[in-house]
Amino acid sequence: MAALMLPLWAADPTDDVGQKEFPGLQLLPEGSVVKGIVLPRYEKHRVSALMMADELRIDTRSLVSLKNLRAELYSPAGGLTTIMCGITQYDFSKDSITTDQTAAIKDSRFSAKGKGISFSTRTQLGILKGPVRTTFTSSAFSSAKGK
């Protein structure tokens, strides 16, 4: 499977196209489908996040649907948080990922599974929709003891 790498943000955030449209996809018409996609996000010349999907469909100039989304968020300290969803929508104009399908979050400290997710790629904050089942690892408790 070939992967297509596209920037998650436009090079110039003051550019009107960069604020309202999905960068790298302006040449494809609405309804286009791209398979095996990888969307990186960079902060200070390092990859801070990767969004990978089996399939991306262009719904509008700023809204895409992603099939089997896997988002990996890398912390500056080297931590990794992974978000996995089925069919998900990414709204570039709002910097938001949403789904009403089962979503899972895995981290070295915990794992959680819910009935959907709403996540801001700008603030890195999200809401896992309930009911939610969360399991904490022993490392989460041992690091809390030392504080």
pLDDT tens digit sequence for 28-73: 899 999 999 998 888 888 888 898 999 999 998 889 999 999 999 8
**Contact assessment for residue 99 and residue 90, using Cβ atoms and an 8 Å cutoff:** no
Percentage of residues of the chain with pLDDT beyond 90? 45
Q: Report d(CA 135, CA 70) in Å as an integer.
A: 20
CA pair distance 75, 124, nearest whole angstrom: 11
Q: Does 131 score more than 90 pLDDT?
A: yes
How confident is the model over 85-112, as a mean pLDDT?
Answer: 92
C-alpha 126: how far from chain center: 10
pLDDT at position 21:
60
- Residue 135: what residue type? T
- Specify the pTM: 0.73
Kindly state the tokens that stand for 84: 């996995």
